[in-house]
Amino acid sequence: MNRIDDGQPFPLGATWDGKGVNFALFSEHATAVELCLFEGTGEREITRIKLPARTDNVWHVYVEGLTAGQLYGYRVHGPYDPARGHRFNPHKLLIDPYARLLSGKLRWHDAMWGYRIGSQRADLTMDRRDSARMMPKCVVEDPSHHWGDDRPPRRPWNETIFYEAHVKGLTQLHPDVPQAMRGSYAALGHPKVIDHLLKLGITAIELMPIHSFVDDRFLVEKGLKNYWGYSTLGYFAPEPRYLGEAGVAGFKGAIRALHDAGIEVILDVVYNHTCEGNHLGPTLSFRGIDNAVYYKLPPESPRHSWDSTGTGNTLDVSHPRVLQMVMDSLRHWVENYHIDGFRFDLAPTLARDPYEFDPRSGFLQACGQDPLLSRVKLIAEPWDVGGGGYRVGNFPAGWSEWNDQYRDTVRAFWRGDDAQLPALGRVIAGSRETYEPTGRHPWATVNFIASHDGFTINDLVSYNDRHNEANGEDNNDGHSHNLSWNCGVEGPTDDPEINELRARQKRNFLATLMFSQGVPMLLMGDEQSRTQNGNNNAYAQDNDTNWFDWRKTAEADPDLFAFTQAAINLRQSHDAFRRRTFLTGAQVPGSILRDSYWLVPEGREMTPGDWSNGLRRTIGFQFGNDAADGQRFLLMMNAWHEEVDFKLADMLPGEVWVQIFDTNIPDGLVRGEQPITLRAGETFKLAPRSLVLFQHATIPGAH
C-alpha cells in the first residue's frame, strides 16, 4: 500500500516529484472528494482514496510511490440539488480540470449524465450508474523536456502575418510528410511544411483548438466528428487525437522547429464555454466538481445555465478560482510549450463581470499585469452572442482583435455593392476610428478575408449560397450573410471567362489584404485556392472537405501561390505597408506632402461629396509619404465591371510613378524593360475589377 499523507493545496492538479504525486482539486461546495486510480489500460479502477485535507476549498492528498503515467480521475460528493445549482454525483468519474494529459476516448452513454435521461422529472432525478468505463482518464505527466536554446521569435506586431491552420487539416494530405506522421502535432515541424510557410512569408501559425475536446454526442450519432475542436474538455491537456507516435515530445519538437525558422505559434483557445452543454448536458468534469462555481447561472433560476456563447453554458471567469484556472492554463502553455500567443474565442464572455462586458474586468486586468502573458500576443474575437456582446474596438491597449468590419467591407466592395468607399477607406487605412480611442496602434486590427468560420476565398467567388448539407442539419446551419458572389455560376464551371474573373477576384482579395494597414491573417490553403465545396460551416467535416489537398489545390490555380508570395514580399519589404502609427492626413514635417491622399479618377482628391456618392466603385490611395525608408505608393482599386480612365492628381510637381503590381497578371508582378510610368495629369486605364500598385520613382529627365 502506498503511503498517503495530506499533501499540499498547491499547485492544483497532479504533480509528480520523482517520489510520489501530489493531487489538489478545488471545489467550494463539495462535502468529500475521492481520488480514483486506474491500471494501465484505464478499464479497471484499482484504488480509491478519500482526500484527507481541505485548505481554502482545495482538497488535497500526497500518494508516495506513484509515478508519471499513472491514470486517475475524481468522484466528488455533495448535494444533488439542481434547483440551487448543485449537481454533485459521485457515481460519475470526473476529469481533473488541471490534467496535463488524457488517455483513452470518451464513449458516449446515458450513464455520463448526472440525471436519469427520460425521467419525467428530467434533471431533477439523480442517475446512479457508474460512468468510469466510458470516460477518458487523466494522466500524471512527466513534465521534463529538453528545449535546448529555444527562444521565442518575438516578431514585432507590425511585421506579423498570421496563417490560420488546423493541425490535421494542414498535414493529413501532405505528400512529403510520412504517412505515420500525418495529422499529428509532429507533422507541423516537418521541413516541407515549414518550408511552405517560409516561402509564403508567414511569420505566425495560428492553430485551431488543440486543448482536449470531445466529439459531441449528436455528431457521433450522425457519423460525424467535432473537427474544429470548439468543445473543450480540459484546458491543460493537448488533444490526444493529434499526439501520434511522437506524443507530447512531437508537439514540443514542432514548436521548436517553427521557432528555429522564425515562426511564432499562436493557439486558438476556448475559455468561454465547455463541452458539458446546458443544464441537460453530461457530467464530465466541471459540472460534477462544482457546477455553481464553474458556470454562470441565472440568479433567478440557478437550475439553468446562463448562456452568452450559444453552446448552452458559460464559464464563470468572474469567479476568482475560475479566473485562476484560466490564467494558470495560459501560463502553462507559455511556460511548458513555449507558445507565443493566444486568440480568444468569443472573448467578451471572458470579460463579463459578472454578466455585462467590462473593459476593466478581472480577466483583462490579470492579462495586462501578468509578467508572462503581457509579453505574448493576445488577440480577441471581440464578439459573443449575449446582450451587448459585439465589442469590436473595446478591448484595452495590449490587445489586438479580429476585425469582421474589415472582412465584410472588403468583400462587399469587390462584390460591387453600393456605398462602400467610406468604410473601405477606414479599414484599409487601419481602422483608426475604431482603435485609436483606446490608445492602440494599427496592429490592433487583425485583418482577414476568410477564416475557418465561413467560406474560403475560392468559395467566396464561387458560391452565392452555403452548401452545408453534409453537416446533417438540412443546410440550416452556418451564416447566410456571406457577402459572396459566384461570378455568374453556382459552383465549379468550365466557362473560361467566369474562371478568369474568379481568379482575378481572388487576387483582388489577397492583394487588398496584404496592402492594408494592420495585421493580415491568411486562411490555410487560400494561397492555393482551397475549396470546401461551398460548405461555410465545416465544423464537423473531418475529411477532404477540410483537409488541405496539396496536389489538387496547386493544380486548381497554379499561379496563386506565387501571387500571394509576391504580395507578402512587397508588404514585408516596405515600411509604408507596416505602419506603427495611424495615417491622419496631416502634413508631413519638412515636406509639402501630407501622409496620405484619397483620389478619384477625375484627377483630384476626394471630396465629401465623392465619399457620399454610393455609385462610386473606384478609388485611389496614395501613402508612404512619411515612411522611414522613403518609399511611396499609389494604390488604385476598381470594383466596377468596366474599364475606368484614372487620371493622376498633381500632388508633387515632376513626380513619376512606376507600375509594379497588377491583379490582371497571374503572379501579380509587372515585368518588362519599359514598365508603365505615370506622371501627374496622365491617365491610366484601370481594368474592370482590378487592383494596381504604383511605386514612386525618380527617373532622369522627369520634371
Longest dimension (CA), the chain: 94
Query: What are 194's three cell numbers?
Result: 515549414
The answer to whether 696 and 633 have CB atoms below 8 angstroms apart is yes
Distance CA 622, CA 632 (A): 8
- Report strand pairing: 604-605 vs 596-600: antiparallel
**116 SS3 class:** coil
The answer to whether the bond into 11 is cis (omega within 30° of 0) is yes
Close Cβ partners of 466 (under 8 Å, ≥ 6 residues apart):
475, 478, 479, 480, 482, 534, 535, 536, 537
Predicted confidence at residue 2, as pLDDT, reads 82
The answer to whether 226 and 214 have CB atoms below 8 angstroms apart is yes
Grid-cell match 465589442, residue found? 391
Distance CA 465, CA 589 (A): 50
The secondary structure element, H or E, covering residue 325 is helix 320-337
User: What CA dihedral angle connects 276, 282, 286 and 290, to 10 degrees?
Assistant: 130
Q: Which residue among 141, 215, 316, 381 is the active-site one?
A: 381
Q: What is the 3-state secondary structure (H, E, C) of 221-242?
A: CCCCCCCCCCCEEEEEEECHHH
**676 SS3 class:** coil
Helices (H) and strands (E) in the chain, counts: 15, 31
Mean pLDDT of 634-647: 98
The pTM of this model reads 0.97
Q: Would you place residue 554 in the very low, low, confident or very high pLDDT band (cuts 50, 70, 90)?
A: confident
Mean pLDDT of 488-506: 97
Q: What is the 3-state secondary structure (H, E, C) of 460-515?
A: HCCCCCCCCHHHCCCCCCCCCCCCCCCCCCCCCCCCHHHHHHHHHHHHHHHHHHHH
Name the DSSP letter for residue 348: G
Read off the pLDDT of residues 98-143 as tens digits, 9 standing for 90 and up: 999 999 999 999 999 999 999 999 999 999 999 999 999 999 999 8
Read off the pLDDT of residues 504-520 as tens digits, 9 standing for 90 and up: 999 999 999 999 999 99
Between 421-428 and 404-415, two packed helices, what is the crossing angle to 10 degrees? 130
381 carries an active-site annotation: yes
The answer to whether 681 and 603 have CB atoms below 8 angstroms apart is yes
Distance CA 62, CA 66 (A): 9
Q: Would you place residue 654 in the very low, low, confident or very high pLDDT band (cuts 50, 70, 90)?
A: confident
- Measure the CA angle with vertex 374, ends 369 and 376; round to 5°: 165
Mean pLDDT of 438-452: 97
Name the DSSP letter for residue 442: G
Query: What are 512's three cell numbers?
Result: 487588398
Q: How far is CA 282 from CA 84, 133, 229, 340, 566, in A?
A: 18, 15, 18, 34, 50
pLDDT at 663 over 70: yes
Q: How far is CA 599 from CA 89, 604, 607, 646, 648, in A?
A: 68, 6, 9, 9, 8
Predicted confidence at residue 555, as pLDDT, reads 80
**Could you please report the per-residue DSSP string of 371-407?**
TTGGGSEEEE--B-SSTT-B-TT-SPTTEEEE-HHHH
What are the φ/ψ torsions at residue 654 (nearest 5 degrees)? 80, 0
Q: Would you place residue 581 in the very low, low, confident or very high pLDDT band (cuts 50, 70, 90)?
A: very high
Grid-cell match 507565443, residue found? 340
The answer to whether 380 and 351 have CB atoms below 8 angstroms apart is no
| Weakest-pLDDT range from 202-206, 435-439, 695-699 | 695-699
Read off the pLDDT of residues 301-315 as tens digits, 9 standing for 90 and up: 999 999 999 999 999
What are the φ/ψ torsions at residue 150 (nearest 5 degrees)? -55, 135
Q: Would you place residue 698 in the very low, low, confident or very high pLDDT band (cuts 50, 70, 90)?
A: low
Q: Which residue among 141, 345, 384, 626 is the active-site one?
A: 345
Read off the pLDDT of residues 346-365 as tens digits, 9 standing for 90 and up: 999 999 999 999 999 999 99
**Between 526 and 551, the higher pLDDT residue:** 526
User: What sign results for the dihedral spanned by CA atoms 612, 613, 616, 618?
Assistant: negative
pLDDT at 700 over 70: no
Q: Would you place residue 1 in the very low, low, confident or very high pLDDT band (cuts 50, 70, 90)?
A: low
Cβ-in-10-Å burial (0-12, 13-18, 19+) of 402 comes to: buried
Predicted confidence at residue 93, as pLDDT, reads 98
**Between 701 and 90, the higher pLDDT residue:** 90
Predicted confidence at residue 378, as pLDDT, reads 98
215 carries an active-site annotation: no
**26 SS3 class:** strand
Cβ-in-10-Å burial (0-12, 13-18, 19+) of 162 comes to: buried
Name the DSSP letter for residue 126: B
Please report, rounded to a whole number, the percentage of residues in the chain having pLDDT higher than 90. Answer: 96
The answer to whether the bond into 354 is cis (omega within 30° of 0) is yes
Mean pLDDT of 313-324: 98
Please report, rounded to a whole number, the percentage of residues in the chain having pLDDT higher than 70. Answer: 99
Query: What are 425's three cell numbers?
Result: 477607406
Helix, strand, coil shares, percent, the chain, to 5: 25, 20, 50
Read off the pLDDT of residues 199-221 as tens digits, 9 standing for 90 and up: 999 999 999 999 999 999 999 99
Question: How high does pLDDT run on average in the chain?
Answer: 96
pLDDT at 322 over 90: yes
103-129: burial string, b at 16+ Cβ within 10 Å, e else: bbebebeebbbbbbeeeeeebebbbee
Predicted confidence at residue 68, as pLDDT, reads 97
The answer to whether 165 and 343 have CB atoms below 8 angstroms apart is no
